[in-house]
Chain A
Amino acid sequence: MFNLNEMQKEAIGLKFIMSQLHSYSPYGKEEIKKITCFVPGSEQELEKELDNIGRILKFKDDNPQHIERIVQCLTQFKNIWGIIKKIPDSTLNEVELFEIKGFLLDFAVFFETYENKDYNVDLWGIQFAEMTEALKILDPTSGGVAPFHIDSVYSQTLAQIRQEKFKIERKIEFLEPDKKEEKERLLEQRRLLASQEEDEELIVMQEITNNLRLYLDVFARNMVAIGKLDLVLQKAYLADCYNATRPKIGKNNISIVDVENPYIAHFLAQKGKKMTKISARFDQGVTMITGANMGGKSVALKTIVLNAVLFQMGFFVFAKSAVLPLFHDICLISEDMQDVEKGLSTFGAEIFYFNGIINKIRKSFMLLAIDEFARGTNPKEGAGIVNAIATFLSAQNAISIMTTHYDGVVQPNFGHYQVAGLTAFSANGIEQFREKAKTGLDFITEHMDYSLVQVNHNTEIPKDAVNICRIIELDEEVLKLIEGNIE
C-alpha cells in the first residue's frame, strides 16, 4: 500500500487491521489480497464503495437473519479458479467436474438467497448472473445432488457399452469358483469393454468441457463478484466492530474529529489504559506537531496515516467524523523505516528516503508524515534541517505533517498543534503532586494528556521536564542551575 514498508505497516497498525478481516469465501480472500487504493480522480468509485459498506450496515440492522443466510452461503464456496483456468485448453476430469458441479449447486442456493425479492441488498458494481444452464451441463437429470458421474444419458454409445459390460460382470459374479478358464475369458472381455468405456467417457468429458467453455466469462464474473461482496461484508464487519464512520471525500485538507488507532488502543487496553482521541485539521502546506518527548506525537502521526490509508483503500475510518482527500501517494518517514541492512544511520536513512521521493513530492498530491526528522543530529543542525525541509514542503502540493521537539521551527504560515502534555501540573500547581512523587513516578503518565491542541506558531514547547524536576524535588542547587539555563 503506497510507499509504506512492512515495518511501517506494522507500526501504524495496518497489519493489525488487515488481520481482522476473515473472509467467508476463498474468493473474498483473493479480493483482500488484491485491495488497491483509490487515487485522485476516482472519487466517484470510492463513494460507491463507501455506499456499499453503508448499505450493508443498514441492511444488517434491518435484516440480520438474511445477512446470516448470505454469509452461510458464502462459507460453502470452494475455490475453483484453478479448474476454471484449465477449461480453455484442457479436458476436465471427473473430479474437476465434480468440483464445478459443487460450485454451481452452491451458487444456485446463494443466487436464490441473494436475489430474494423481499430483501434487496443492491450493491454498486456487485451483480450476479444466473448459472442454471451451466448447471444443467453437469446435472443432466436435474438431480440437484452433489455426487457426479459420467451419466449414461450423455451418450448412447456409453450406455450400450455399460450395459454389455454389466452383463459380463454379472456372469463373473455368479460363476462357479472352479471355472477358472471361463472366468479369465470373461475378465478379458470385461477389460476390453472397460477400456472402450474409458475412451467414450473421455469423449463425453471433452464435450462437457467444451460446453462449459461458453460460460467461462460468467464463471469469472460471478467469482469476482462473490469476492467483492465478501470484501464489502468484511469492511462492514470491521466498521461495526470499531464503530467506524463513513468518511467524507474532501479536496485539499484533512479534518478529523476524535480519531483513534485500534492497534495502539489494543495495546493500551492490555495495560488497562485508554487511547486519547485526537481531533485536528491539516491544510495543504505544513502542520507541525510539537510537544515534549513521550508526548504521543508519533502516536498521533501514525493514527492519522492509518486512517488516511484505510480511507484510500475504501474503508470507514476510526473517527467521529472525518473529511479526507484522495492522495496520489502517502509517505511516512519514521524510525520504523530504518534501512538497517544498508548500514545507514537514522539520519542518513531519513535523508536518503526523502531524497528518493522529492520528485514525487514536486509532481503529485501527497500526504507526507514525518516523525521527528533529524532526531539523530545535534539540536542546532537538527532544527536547521527541519526548518529547511518544512520551508520546502510548505511550497509543495502536499499535506505535510511533521512532528518535532525542536524549538523555533514553526513558521507563521504553518499549522501548529501541541500535545497537551502535563497540563494538570500547571493548572493545579505542582505542590499537590509532590506527595504522589514519593510513592512512585506512575503519576506522570497518568496525568499525561495526549490530545492535540491547536496553538499559535510561536507557542513554545511546554517545559514539562523542568516541572518534573520540581515535583520530584531535585536538589535545589542543581534545580536552580537548570532554571537559570532555561528561563
Chain B
Amino acid sequence: MSLLDLTDLAMPYDSIAIIGTAKNAGKTTTLNYMINGLNRKGITLGLTSVGRDGENIDIVTHTPKPEIFVIKGTVLATAERLLSYCDITKQVLHIANISTPFGRVVVVRAMSSGYVQLGGPSITKQIGEIIPIMEREGAQKSLIDGALNRITPADPKIAQAAVLCVGATGANLQKVVEHTQFLVKILSLPQVETLQKNDIFFAGAVSDHVLKKIVLSGEKLNDRRIIAEDSGKFFIQPQTFEKLVAKGATLAVKQATNLLCVTINPTSPYGSGFNPKEFLQKMQEAVNVPVFDVI
C-alpha cells in the first residue's frame, strides 16, 4: 500500500485525531503528510491540538523550530503565547473562552504559508467548541494533534476518525507490535446499539482497578458485555483484558472509533531503531487496519 492511501482514507471524515503511543512516534510526520495530501486535494484545513499540557512546556518552547508546515488559508486554533512561534502571517479571527497553560485558545487564519506551533485546549471536551469555530471560519476538514500516550482524543464525539502513530521505542520490536496490537483491539471495540439486561455499563472512565475487581469477583462472565461510552474510556491493561476475555466477557462501546490506520516510524533518535521492512511486516500481521511507514 502506498502512502497516498492515508489521505484517501481520511476523505470521508470531517475531523480526524492523530494520536501517538509515545514520543517519536512520527505523529508530526503523519500530520504533515496528511496536511500536504489534503491541501493538494484543495481542502482548507482546520488544525488544533489537544491535551498537550501533559507534555513539558520545554517540548514546545525549546524545539528549535516548529515542525508543522501549513499553507495560506489554513485555519488554526492555538494558544495565545504560542502564536509568536508561528511564522505565518496571521489574521486573528476569534478568542475562545478556553484557557491553556500557554494562555487562551486563539483562532487565526494563515495569510501565508509557514511553520506553526499547535497548543489547543487541554481538555478533550473543549475541542468540541473549537471545531465548529474553525468550520465557521472556512475549515472544511479538521485535524487534531493528540497528546502523547493518550487515546482520549480519539473520542468519537470529538473526532469522527483517528490515526494511531507508533514509533520504534525501546529495543524490542515484538513488544512494540504487541502493545500496538492491544491498543488497536481497544480502539476497534465493537459498538452496541442497545444495552441489555445482562450488560455491565460504565457511564464514565473505566479503570483497570475496577475491571480487575470484576475478574476477581468470581462472578461468571459468560456472554456478559462490559460496555463504556467509547474506547478512550477504557484504561485497561492487556493482562486484565485477557483475563476478562478468558472468563467469557466481551468489551464493547456505545460509540465506536473509526480507526483509519496505524502509521509507523522505524527510526529512533535514542537507539538504532527497527528494521523498516520487518517492523512494517510484523505490524501488518498483527493489526486488522492498514499500516503505513511514514518515514
Given contact pairs A95-B80, A95-B83, A95-B106, A149 touches B113 in the complex (Cβ within 8 A): no
- Which residue of B90, B106, B109 has the most chain A CB atoms within 10 A of its CB atom? B90
CA distance A173 to B73 in the complex (A): 14
Q: Could you say which of A148, A194, A198 contacts B91, with CB atoms under 8 Å apart?
A: A148
Chain B residues closer than 8 Å to A169, beta-carbon distance: 71-72, 112-114
Report if B67 contacts A (CB, 8 A).
Answer: no
Are B112 and A95 in contact, CB atoms less than 8 angstroms apart?
no
Chain B residues closer than 8 Å to A146, beta-carbon distance: 93-94
CA distance A299 to B71 in the complex (A): 70
A-B contacts at CB below 8 angstroms, number: 48
Nearest Cβ on chain B to A156's Cβ, whole angstroms: 16
Are B111 and A149 in contact, CB atoms less than 8 angstroms apart?
yes
Report if B195 contacts A (CB, 8 A).
Answer: no
Interface size grouping (class) on chain B:
10 to 19
Report if A98 contacts B (CB, 8 A).
Answer: yes
Are B71 and A94 in contact, CB atoms less than 8 angstroms apart?
no
Chain B residues closer than 8 Å to A172, beta-carbon distance: 113
Given contact pairs A94-B83, A95-B106, A162-B112, A148 touches B72 in the complex (Cβ within 8 A): no
Report if A464 contacts B (CB, 8 A).
Answer: no
CA distance A169 to B39 in the complex (A): 14
Report if A443 contacts B (CB, 8 A).
Answer: no
Report if A41 contacts B (CB, 8 A).
Answer: no
Report if B89 contacts A (CB, 8 A).
Answer: yes
* Binary interface encoding of chain B residues 77-113 relative to chain A, with 1 for a CB under 8 A from any of its CBs, else 0: 0001001100101111111000000000010010111
CA distance A93 to B85 in the complex (A): 13
Chain A residues closer than 8 Å to B95, beta-carbon distance: 95, 98-99
Nearest Cβ on chain A to B58's Cβ, whole angstroms: 22
Chain A residues closer than 8 Å to B94, beta-carbon distance: 146
Q: Could you say which of B72, B89, B92 contacts A197, with CB atoms under 8 Å apart?
A: B89
Contacting B at CB under 8 A, from A159-185, are 162, 165-166, 169, 172-173
Nearest Cβ on chain A to B108's Cβ, whole angstroms: 8
A-B complex: 8 closest residue pairs judged by Cβ atoms: A98-B92, A149-B91, A194-B87, A169-B113, A148-B92, A147-B93, A147-B91, A94-B92
Which residues does A use to contact B, with CB under 8 Å?
93-95, 97-99, 146-150, 162, 165-166, 169, 172-173, 190-191, 194-195, 197-198
Q: List 14 A-B contacts (CB under 8 A).
A: A93-B83, A93-B84, A94-B83, A95-B80, A95-B92, A99-B95, A147-B93, A148-B91, A149-B111, A165-B112, A166-B112, A169-B114, A194-B114, A195-B87
